[in-house]
């Protein structure tokens, strides 16, 4: 049970860090903003889940990735539906689906670096 909460904590921490950096980088050109977003997804989640796998691992890479993505989807739904009040123009393939794939792939593959 605690391991599922740890995965949630690492996931929400990564999401929060990325959201913070992207919110202060919103004046970048679109191309650079997207590249920064993709880089942050891989780097932040890679770093956090490398630490997770090194010290707290209890599940396989696939199970960990699946649990993290469930946390991410639930948290994003709550945030974008009930907390965020602006336009949701960025919930598209480039800004949401590709980053979600990068996060899932990174969480899965960083398991093999430990």
- At 1 the pLDDT is 76
User: What's the mean pLDDT in 57-78?
Assistant: 95
Per-residue pLDDT tens digits for 11-23: 999 999 999 999 9
Per-residue pLDDT tens digits for 70-97: 999 999 999 888 988 877 766 788 888 9
- The rounded radius of gyration (Å) of the Cα atoms in the chain is 14
State the burial class of residue 3 (Cβ atoms within 10 Å of its Cβ: 0-12, 13-18, 19+): middle
With a cut of 90, say whether residue 57 has pLDDT above it.
no
Number of domains in the chain: 1
Closest residue by Cα to residue 106 from 46, 62, 66, 59: 46
User: What's the mean pLDDT in 67-72?
Assistant: 98
- At 47 the pLDDT is 98
- At 51 the pLDDT is 97
Torsion 67-72-75-80 (CA) sign: negative
Find the angle CA(1)-CA(12)-CA(74) to the nearest 5 degrees. 75
Q: How far apart, in whole angstroms, are the C-alpha atoms of residue 59 and residue 75?
A: 21
Closest residue by Cα to residue 68 from 2, 1, 6: 6
Mean residue pLDDT of the chain comes to 93
Give the domain extent around 14.
Answer: 2-113
With a cut of 90, say whether residue 41 has pLDDT above it.
yes
């Amino acid at each position: 049970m605690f391991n599922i909460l740890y995965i949630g904590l690492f996931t929400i921490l990564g999401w929060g860090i990325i959201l913070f950096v992207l919110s202060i980088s919103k004046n970048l050109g679109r191309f650079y903003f997207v590249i920064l977003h993709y880089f942050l997804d891989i780097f932040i989640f890679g770093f956090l889940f490398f630490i997770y796998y090194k010290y707290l691992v209890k599940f396989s890479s696939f199970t960990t990735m699946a649990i993290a993505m469930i946390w991410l989807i639930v948290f994003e739904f709550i945030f974008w539906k009930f907390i965020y009040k602006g336009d949701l123009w960025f919930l598209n393939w480039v800004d949401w689906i590709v980053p979600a794939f990068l996060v899932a792939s990174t969480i899965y593959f960083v398991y093999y670096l430990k």
